């Protein structure tokens, strides 16, 4: 069997590979890149619109990103980091749209306010403190706070209709939030790459990677079975494993020492979905609240506006579950096959120390439709169960890794694992990965191609794609405002432009000084 040589192979046809392929092609147009997807269509797993909530995660509404310290002080560091990383994603999309390399942004991006909602006096005190801390930072200076039922009802009518008037409630709102159809974004990125006249990027579907082996010259060979029954071998200088939950097994097959000790904890998900126009029309927001005790961060409850293929819907959830599959279209043997001598101990340690999580997942699996609707009733007191149906979400595989003190820890979020020489990289973990894909992939490129990344040529091209990096945005209010003005305009998000907060309880904002940024 003959080998076909390329420069780069990206395994997985989701938003991560689409983002990395786009960046690498822009930085090195002559590189030969092939994307290999196991299914017969791209963006069919976690990136598919109904497999995720579509939240453009920007730290605006997710309460688990702003934990209180022992003294009650709110730590906003993670929220600032995620907010500015999402701004990097919007900058990349804006640059591609401006250059004619992404198409109509309204096909994948919609303006939707982001809200946080709490109940009870303890929740109100926490949210007031959170608003006070966040609104003093320029990333969140337009955040509004209210505990007035009439104001909250104006922001999101479903939250207050039928609610006990004596129940303490509070909410924050940021008008400039977004809903993202990551499946449509992936489609558009790959479509434009496939249309380039240089023919340097190839997207191959129905291609399952069976094995990965290191060659004597430092390159990699991938053995691939096609859906048509053929076999092929790809030889590449660099491999990216961006296949969602399947990345772990492929990383293990690579044999790199950096993979030792990593394991996966699969968590499935379900939503309640409503398409009834008269209900959908009464809610335009993504509303996040607090997670139940023992629930994983990905199970923070939220009631969301979704815009998929031009049609608005509502989602509520997610309701977690457990399966041994690492992909929605995977095998029940995925978890068993991932167990090795190097990761068994961390897995057992995590199992011993996460009994409450295990119980939570079992309880979630056993929920009836009526019980799920009762959880929704905390957000939407007047809910009619007949208006909602079950929607199966995508599969998430959380990271388990060795820990010198605990033996093993369960880690939420995303992590890049790279070979020592930078010739292979794998992305493990889950949310908020898709929203921060640009930042994650830029970090990967810097780690795997350090000399080229530091070159004047690549830095000049990078400055055109992402003019202002996250660190600068977090530190410089004027540059952040200028970047947002440009991305809002190019991405046609002007309807979501931040407005002057109306809440009398809002912390004072810094004046909006004039600002310019070298973006065009």
Residue 124 tokens read as 């109100």
Where in 419-498 does DSSP place strands (E)?
Answer: 424-429
> What letter does residue 176 receive in the DSSP assignment?
T
pLDDT of 291 reads 79
How many helices (H) and strands (E) would you count in the chain? 17, 20
Full residue range of the structural domain in which residue 203 is found: 3-453
Residue-wise burial string across 292-317, b where 16 or more C-beta atoms lie within 10 A, e elsewhere: eeebbbbbbbbbbbbbbeeebbbbbb
Q: Is residue 426 part of a domain?
A: yes
Q: Is residue 38 part of a domain?
A: yes
Q: Is residue 240 part of a domain?
A: yes
Q: Is residue 340 part of a domain?
A: yes
pLDDT of 60 reads 98
Place of tokens 């973006």: 519
d(CA 249, CA 168): 48
Q: Is residue 109 part of a domain?
A: yes
Which residues of the chain fall short of a pLDDT of 50?
496-520
Give residues with Cβ within 8 angstroms of 240, minimum separation 6.
8, 9, 10, 11, 17, 20, 424, 425, 426, 427, 444
- Beta-bridged to residue 306, according to DSSP, are 313
Q: Is residue 504 part of a domain?
A: no
Beta carbons within 10 angstroms of residue 284's beta carbon: 17
d(CA 323, CA 318): 15
pLDDT of 383 reads 97
State the sign of the Cα–Cα–Cα–Cα dihedral 160, 166, 168, 172. Answer: positive
pLDDT tens by residue, 234-257: 999 999 999 999 999 999 999 999
Q: Is residue 265 part of a domain?
A: yes
22, 84, 9: which is closest to 461 by C-alpha?
A: 22
Backbone torsions φ then ψ of 154, nearest 5 degrees = -70, -40
- Burial of residue 223, with CB atoms counted within 10 A of its CB: 0-12 exposed, 13-18 middle, 19 or more buried: middle
C-beta separation of 389 from 372 below 8 A: no
C-beta separation of 67 from 237 below 8 A: no
The H or E element containing residue 308 is: strand 302-308
Give residues with Cβ within 8 angstroms of 142, minimum separation 6.
174, 175, 176, 498, 499, 500, 501, 509
d(CA 425, CA 339): 20
Q: What is the CATH number of the domain that holds 215?
A: 3.50.50.60
What are the Cα distances from residue 482, in Å, to 200, 478, 513, 516, 520? 34, 6, 10, 6, 12
Q: Is residue 139 part of a domain?
A: yes
Q: In the chain, what percentage of residues exceed pLDDT 90?
A: 81
Overall number of domains in the chain: 1
151, 154, 148: which is closest to 168 by C-alpha?
A: 148
pLDDT of 357 reads 80
C-beta separation of 212 from 11 below 8 A: no
> What letter does residue 174 receive in the DSSP assignment?
E
pLDDT of 353 reads 87
């Amino acid at each position: 069997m003959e080998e076909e040589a390329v420069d780069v192979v990206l395994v997985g046809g989701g938003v991560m590979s689409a983002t990395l392929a786009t960046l690498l092609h822009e930085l090195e147009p002559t590189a030969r890149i092939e994307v290999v997807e196991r299914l017969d269509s791209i963006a069919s797993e976690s990136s598919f619109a109904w497999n995720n909530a579509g939240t453009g995660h920007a730290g605006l509404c997710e309460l688990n990103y702003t934990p209180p310290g022992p003294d009650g002080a709110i730590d906003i560091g993670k929220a600032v980091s995620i907010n500015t990383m999402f701004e990097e994603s919007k900058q990349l999309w804006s640059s591609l749209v401006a250059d004619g390399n992404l198409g109509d942004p309204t096909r994948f991006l919609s303006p939707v306010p982001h809200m946080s909602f709490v109940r009870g006096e303890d929740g109100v005190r926490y949210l007031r403190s959170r608003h006070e801390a966040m609104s003093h930072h320029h990333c969140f200076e337009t955040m509004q706070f209210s505990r007035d039922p009439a104001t909250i009802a104006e922001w999101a009518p479903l939250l207050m209709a039928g609610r006990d008037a004596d129940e303490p409630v509070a909410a924050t709102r940021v008008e400039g939030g977004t809903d993202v159809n990551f499946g449509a974004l992936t489609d558009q990125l790959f479509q434009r790459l496939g249309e380039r006249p240089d023919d340097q990027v190839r997207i191959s579907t129905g291609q399952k990677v069976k094995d990965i082996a290191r060659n004597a010259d430092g390159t990699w060979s991938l053995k691939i079975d096609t859906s048509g029954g053929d076999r092929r071998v790809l030889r590449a200088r660099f491999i990216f494993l961006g296949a969602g939950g399947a990345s772990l097994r492929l990383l293990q097959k690579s044999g790199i020492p950096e993979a030792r000790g990593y394991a996966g904890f699969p968590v499935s998900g379900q939503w309640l979905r409503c398409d009834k126009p008269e209900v959908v029309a009464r809610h335009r927001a993504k509303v996040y609240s607090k997670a139940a005790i023992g629930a994983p961060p990905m199970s923070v409850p939220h009631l969301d506006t979704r815009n998929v293929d031009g049609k608005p819907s509502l989602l509520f959830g997610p309701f977690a579950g457990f399966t041994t599959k690492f992909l929605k279209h995977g095998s029940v043997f995925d978890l068993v096959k991932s167990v090795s001598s190097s990761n068994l101990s961390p897995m057992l340690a995590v199992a011993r120390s996460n009994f409450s999580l295990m119980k939570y997942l079992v309880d979630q699996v056993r929920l009836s439709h009526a019980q799920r609707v009762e959880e929704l009733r905390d957000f939407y007191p007047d809910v009619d169960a007949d208006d909602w149906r079950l929607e199966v979400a995508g599969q998430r595989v959380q990271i388990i890794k060795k820990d010198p003190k605990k033996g093993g820890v369960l880690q939420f979020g995303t992590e890049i694992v790279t070979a020592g020489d930078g010739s292979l990289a794998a992305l493990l973990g889950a949310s908020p990965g898709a929203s921060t894909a640009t930042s994650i992939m830029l970090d990967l490129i810097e780690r795997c191609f350090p000399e080229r990344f530091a070159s004047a040529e690549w830095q000049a091209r990078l400055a055109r794609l992402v003019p202002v990096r996250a660190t600068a945005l977090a530190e410089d209010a004027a540059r952040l405002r200028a970047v947002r003005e440009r991305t809002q305009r190019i991405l046609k998000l002007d309807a979501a432009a931040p407005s002057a907060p109306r809440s009398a309880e809002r912390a004072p904002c810094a004046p909006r000084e004039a600002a310019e940024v070298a973006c065009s």
